[in-house]
Structure 1
Amino acid sequence: MASVFDEGKLPLEFITEETPFSSCFDSSAPPKPLLIATPTVNGTYPVLLLLHGFYLRNYFYKGIFQHIASHGFIVVGPQLYSLVPPTGPEEIESAAKVVNWLPQGLQSLLPENVVADLTKVALSGHSRGGKAAFALALGHAKESLSLKFSVLIGIDPVAGANQYCRTNPHILTYVPRSFNLNIPVAVIGTGLGPEKKNGCLSQPCAPDGVNHKEFFNESKLPCAHFVAKDYGHLDMLDDDLPGVVGALSGCTCKNGSGSKDLMRKSVGGIVVAFLNAYVNGEDENLLAIVADPALSPAKIEPVEFITA
């Protein structure tokens, strides 16, 4: 079995596309700045839209983007805001605009002879971006979506500070299997996300009651749950993050003591395995990970995969 936890064999490139001031008059211009990782080998590839976390930058995820794209996917990461984080509903509307831009603008940015297969679009997000991805899939955007999602993947999604202080819209119901979704869902969590950093901060980054556990519990079948036991909420980001935001991100969440590269490989590999299973119809890697979680570079415990 070719390991999804190793980088794939496809050469790729990163494309950065800013939003011009004239974008309101040009439908081909992206509504938000984009970071795109794409294979450069001739072919047609599924698309993964990945929404960044609270106050983070899309380029903090370049390692994850590279890992996924090298296995034959076009990864699109919009920068949904710059300085001031929007409200939850505004974030969802921004993401919806990006979704509706894809059919008219994505292809023009890709390398020659690389084609985006927009019949196979997966939606993902990390942290608050994971919650926004679920909200978008659940139909909370006012703007009608022009594309249908094939798969939904939450990477340590967070819906607020606690069960009684959640970001709008309130999508968690605390009723098992209650999400009104008819697509496969994978939720990747972290074991240290619910813990405070050094025991001194007032708020963990992924508190119990609003984190990956509840998102998985409310997802309908088929759904999968993978928890990186010894890693924290931001450990899948790149090393040495630049700028003030990068420096602040290193001070907010409890981190694991292991190599972040192992965490990135684990998250990237699980995403690739789930996409292969439910977008490409190739479930060998996913079933192998479920049967033997020790295949993952980072310790994954628990692993749950419910299909019926």
Structure 2
Amino acid sequence: MATTPQVLDEPAAAVVTSVFQPGKLAVEVISVDHDARPTPPIPILIAAPKDDAGTYPVAILLHGFFLQNRYYEQLLKHVASFGFIMVAPQFALAGHNRGGHTAFSLALGYANTSTSLKFSVLIGLDPVAGTGRSSQLPPAILTYEPSSFDITVPVLVIGTGLGDESENALFPPCAPVDVNHTEFYRECRAPCYQLVTKDYGHLDMLDDYAPKLVTCLYKEGSSCKDVMRRTVAGIMVAYFKAIMGEEDGDLMDILKHPGLTPTTLDPVEYRLA
């Protein structure tokens, strides 16, 4: 039997606003690179609460194509301040666009090595599976059949309204139609959610110091990037709390009152059963 999460009794505006501002916990950012002992196979950026006595869920963020994990530091710190340990490995040629594809591929069992890790939740940040329907990244996970993903954990897809638009004729869009967030959400099974930041582009969640050589090539929103980062981070916090912390008030308020978020969310869709 499908059940609908309960809504908390607090006023919606107060509940929603809280997740879009930094949480109460002080956060430490740790960079683990090749100089560390023991040496990690790849550099890792970790944002974690400073409270050593606490026990916190761990989330892994796979960064964007041709980007570096440090460009997501503000996003990681925001989420970590609510009691989560955010781990961002430095992969070559992976992405929050293609990193999203990688995350879905792992959840679908396409890892080259077996793992005993159990994922509790999956979030795709404007995921991209290639440059077009006939040119998917390997593994080609999109089937173009509704609810075809064999993923048993709840899935959240955060899309961008400008991701499928080109900045100029020389460069294609970051998140082309048929391989972007819309198709990922369409192929998810319930429970799944899609929230799209209507007025922002694919790279607008990055820190302000991300190289302009990269960000200027693609369509950007005209508004403050901090608003985009807080929106994405706040949605992630609300989702983590709902799925892993069984505190679904923030998520349900965002779904029912999207106008209370820092920027416009359109569309807001979800399937619970």
The answer to whether the superposition gives a TM-score over 0.5 is yes
Q: Is the 8 A contact 1:58 1:77 kept in 2?
A: yes
CA distance in 2, matches of 1:251, 1:161: 19
Where do 1:228-307 residues align within 5 Å?
228-241=197-210, 246-307=211-272
Mark the runs of 5 or more structure 1 residues left unpaired by the alignment: 86-90, 92-124
Aligned residues: 257
2:5 corresponds to 1:40 = no
1:31 and 2:34 aligned: no
CA distance in 2, matches of 1:9, 1:202: 42
Question: How far apart, in 2, do the equivalents of 1:19 and 1:133 lie?
Answer: 24
CA contact (8 A) 2:130 2:136 kept: yes
Q: CA deviation at 1:202?
A: 4.0
- Picking from 143, 151, 169, the partner of 1:173 is 143
> What's 1:196 paired with?
166
Partner AA of 2:57 in structure 1: P
User: Hey, what's the Cα distance between the residues in 2 that align with 1:149 and 1:206?
Assistant: 26
- The answer to whether the 8 A contact 2:71-2:209 is kept is no
SS of equivalent residue, structure 2 residue 165: coil
Alignment partner of 1:66: what SS?
Answer: helix
Matched residue type, 1:288: D
How many percent of aligned residue pairs carry the same amino acid?
52
Secondary structure at the counterpart of residue 43 of structure 1: coil
Alignment of 1:125-204 (within 5 A): 126-197=96-167, 199-204=168-173
**What secondary structure sits across from 1:214 in the alignment?**
helix
CA contact (8 A) 1:192 1:232 kept: yes
CA shift for structure 1 position 20: 5.0
Q: What corresponds to 1:79 in structure 2?
A: 90
Please list the CA deviations of residues 241-268 of structure 1 after superposition, one character each: whole Å capped at 9, or x if unmatched.
Answer: 2xxxx23212221000000000000000
Conserved? CA contact 2:121–2:155, under 8 Å: yes
For structure 2, list consecutive stretches of 5 or more residues without a partner in the other structure.
Answer: 1-13
Question: What TM-score does the superposition give when structure 2 sets the normalisation length?
Answer: 0.91
Residue from 80, 104, 110 that aligns with 1:69: 80
Query: What is the TM-score normalised by the length of structure 1?
Result: 0.81
4+ residue runs over 6 A deviation: none
Counterparts of 1:57 and 1:194, CA distance in 2:
22
For the pair 1:215 / 2:184, whether they are aligned, the reply is: yes
Aligned to 1:282, the other structure's residue is in SS state coil
**Greater percentage in strand:** 1
Report whether the alignment pairs 1:15 with 2:43.
no
Q: Does residue 1:224 correspond to 2:239, yes or no?
A: no
1:4 to 4, 12, 19: 19
Output the aligned Cα RMSD.
1.4
* Structure with higher RCO (Cα < 8 A, 6+ apart): 2
Contact 1:205 1:252 in 2 (8 A): no
CA offset digits 1:159-185 (Å, max 9, x no partner) = 111111111110000000000100000
Aligned-partner residue type, residue 62 of structure 1: E
1:198-240 CA distance string (max 9 Å, x none): x323411100100000000001110000000000000000002
Q: Which amino acid in the other structure matches residue 31 of structure 1? A: P
Contact 2:171–2:217 (CA under 8 A) maintained in structure 1: no
